[in-house]
Amino acid sequence: MISKLVLVDIKMLSGFTPVMSSIEELENSGQVMKIEVKNDHVLFYLENVSDTANSVTFSVEQSNLVSNTQPAPVMVYDYYEKDEYAIAFYNVNNVSVSQ
């Protein structure tokens, strides 16, 4: 079996930042091999990813109020074969904020 290293690059939506405690939980629990937070991106390094669905969940918080938030990309690619990749976009809709 060939070990694959997959990188998931999640660009944060404008006005949002990751909750670092939720990111650290993923690394401490062994769900991800390594995590980097750079500028407005969160990068997850995943080892031995199978062909079945995998999910990683973390929390974000709104740091600035931004109107008309545009979709942000999530890029998944093979660390060693960067031409093997997939891109999806996400956004927030109808979010309720408690004060």
| Cα–Cα distance, 18 to 13 (Å, whole number) | 10
pLDDT at 99: 41
pLDDT at 2: 52
pLDDT at 51: 62
Tell me the per-residue pLDDT of 34-47, one tens digit each, with 9 for 90 and over. Answer: 999 999 999 999 98
- Other Cβ atoms closer than 10 A to 36: 12
Give the right CATH number for 3-90 from 2.40.30.10, 2.60.40.690, 2.60.40.10, 2.40.170.20: 2.60.40.690
Dihedral sign from CA coordinates of 10, 15, 20, 25:
negative
Element (H, E) at 25: helix 20-28
| Cα–Cα distance, 17 to 11 (Å, whole number) | 10
Domain locations in the chain?
A: 3-90
pTM (global) more than 0.75: yes
Answer yes or no: is pLDDT of 97 > 70.
no
Q: Tell me the pLDDT of the chain averaged across its residues.
A: 84
